[in-house]
């Protein structure tokens, strides 16, 4: 009986050591990923300012849609569209 308990204790200890090693490797990878995301965020700021004209254009289109111009254009198109 004592031998079985020793074997179980050794197995549990080995499993715990394997868990700790895996946790350390995972945390190292997480740290590496966080550094990469930080680098990307710092470098993306300058590149995103190049998209300002596109964002302004999209904003003007959404303002036109919300103002009703798009609905009026749809109504006019609907009057002239062929109905089959």
CA atoms within 13 A on the CB side of 66: 6
Helices (H), the chain: 2-48, 52-67, 69-80
- Which residue in the block uniquely carries the two structure tokens 């749809």? 74
How does DSSP classify residue 49?
G
Give pLDDT tens digits for 4-22: 999 999 999 999 999 999 9
pLDDT along the chain (84 residues), means of 10: 93 97 96 93 78 82 71 74 62
Gap between the Cα atoms of 29 and 78, Å rounded: 57
> What is the distance of C-alpha 43 from the center of its chain?
17
Distance (Å) of CA 44 to CA 15, 30, 39, 52, 63: 43, 21, 8, 13, 27
Q: What is the pTM of this model?
A: 0.49
């Amino acid at each position: 009986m004592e031998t079985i308990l020793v074997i179980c204790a050794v197995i549990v200890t080995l499993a715990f050591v394997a868990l700790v090693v895996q946790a350390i490797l995972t945390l190292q990878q997480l740290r590496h990923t966080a550094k990469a995301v930080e680098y990307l965020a710092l470098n993306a700021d300058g590149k995103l300012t190049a998209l300002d004209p596109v964002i302004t254009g999209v904003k003007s289109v959404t303002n036109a849609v919300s103002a009703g111009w798009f609905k009026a254009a749809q109504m006019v198109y609907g009057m002239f569209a062929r109905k089959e």
